[in-house]
């Protein structure tokens, strides 16, 4: 993200806000803060941030509600910052429209890495003709997939899954998000479809499917595409 980009921090913990404000300003970001969910919605509308960091445990409203409401009018990346480590909380936040999550306590190095991933995805542009992630390349026009220069033959469904993961590289996509995008709304509960096709994809694109370098499992949540 370029210097001068605007980040809104929505968190009721003063120590966390101070840490983020000081650290992110040192990277050249412009920071605004909100201490409650409703304050965060108001600040988001006025400040027009390039990225938001939202705590789930807000005093007035659950952070997931804030994400859903902001998503009605903003596509800016949202990173969830939470002390809750239950899988369901993370899944619900991602399904609500968050781009990623990070669990407290956290390191600034990890947070900055997540911010960079979100920003790369936002600045990549909609007119790309190809997607690249390490040795994996997807030609969006010809619908060809290559790994280390060698073409990989995929079924239409396998292609749609890897394309979707590549379009959101570095971000966790939940089973529900993948099902809805690839199979439609009527398959919301059929998560075994995703597991079957991811298994097939791994056998085709991974050097060792049991130790994947590209399609990483987020246990109980979904999958994240990572480059080598």
Kind and range of the H or E run holding 8: strand 6-10
Give the pLDDT confidence score for residue 188 in this predicted structure. 67
Residues 167 and 100 in one domain: no
pLDDT of 215 higher than 90: yes
Q: Mean pLDDT throughout 179-197? A: 81
pLDDT classification of 160: cutoffs 50, 70, 90: very high
Condensed to tens digits (0 to 9), the pLDDT of residues 24-33 reads: 999 899 999 9
Q: Would 176 be classed as within a structural domain?
A: yes
Q: Would 42 be classed as within a structural domain?
A: yes
- Mean pLDDT: which of 57-61, 86-90, 129-133 is highest? 57-61
Yes or no: say if 38 and 64 are a contact pair by the CB < 8 Å rule. Answer: no
Q: Would 1 be classed as within a structural domain?
A: no
pTM for this one?
0.75
Residues 221 and 140 in one domain: yes
Residues 170 and 83 in one domain: no
User: Considering only CA atoms, which of 103, 102, 100 is closest in space to residue 83?
Assistant: 103
pLDDT of 126 higher than 90: no
Residues 118 and 136 in one domain: no
Q: Last residue of a domain, which of 123, 158, 178?
A: 123
Q: Mean pLDDT throughout 109-130? A: 76
Q: Mean pLDDT throughout 25-42? A: 94
Q: Which residues pair with 139 in a beta bridge?
A: 130, 144
Q: Which residue has the higher pLDDT, 180 or 154?
A: 154
pLDDT classification of 158: cutoffs 50, 70, 90: very high
Give how many domains the chain has, as a whole number. Answer: 2
Kindly report the CATH number assigned to the domain that includes residue 218: 1.10.10.10
- The domain containing residue 164 runs over which residues? 130-225
DSSP letter, residue 143: T
pLDDT of 67 higher than 90: yes
DSSP letter, residue 57: B
Residues 165 and 118 in one domain: no
| Region for residue 85 given its phi and psi (left: phi exceeds 0; alpha: psi -120 to 50; beta: otherwise) | alpha
Buried b / exposed e over 148-170, threshold 16 CB at 10 Å, is: eeeebebeeebbbbbbbbbbbbb
Condensed to tens digits (0 to 9), the pLDDT of residues 100-115 reads: 999 888 899 989 988 8
Kindly report the CATH number assigned to the domain that includes residue 116: 3.40.50.2300
Residues 214 and 188 in one domain: yes
Q: Would 219 be classed as within a structural domain?
A: yes
Residues 147 and 53 in one domain: no
């Amino acid at each position: 993200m370029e210097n001068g980009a605007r980040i809104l921090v929505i968190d009721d913990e003063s120590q966390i806000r101070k840490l983020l404000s000081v650290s992110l300003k040192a990277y050249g970001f412009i920071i605004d803060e909100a201490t409650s969910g409703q304050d965060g919605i108001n600040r988001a509308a006025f400040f027009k941030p390039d990225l938001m960091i939202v705590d789930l445990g807000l005093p007035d409203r659950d952070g997931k509600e804030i994400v859903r409401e902001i998503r009605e009018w903003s596509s800016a990346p949202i990173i969830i910052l939470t002390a809750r480590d239950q899988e369901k909380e993370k899944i619900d936040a991602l399904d609500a429209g968050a781009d990623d999550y990070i669990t407290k306590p956290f390191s600034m190095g990890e947070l900055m890495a997540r911010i960079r991933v979100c920003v790369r995805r936002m600045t990549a542009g909609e007119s790309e003709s190809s997607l690249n992630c390490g040795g994996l390349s997807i030609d969006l026009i010809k619908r060809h997939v290559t790994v280390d220069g060698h073409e990989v033959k995929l079924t239409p469904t396998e292609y749609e899954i890897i394309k979707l993961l590549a379009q959101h590289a570095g971000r966790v996509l939940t089973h529900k998000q993948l099902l809805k995008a690839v199979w439609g709304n009527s398959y919301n509960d059929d998560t075994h479809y995703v597991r079957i096709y991811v298994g097939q994809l791994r056998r085709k694109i991974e050097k060792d499917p049991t130790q994947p370098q590209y399609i990483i499992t987020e246990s109980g949540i979904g999958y994240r595409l990572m480059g080598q």
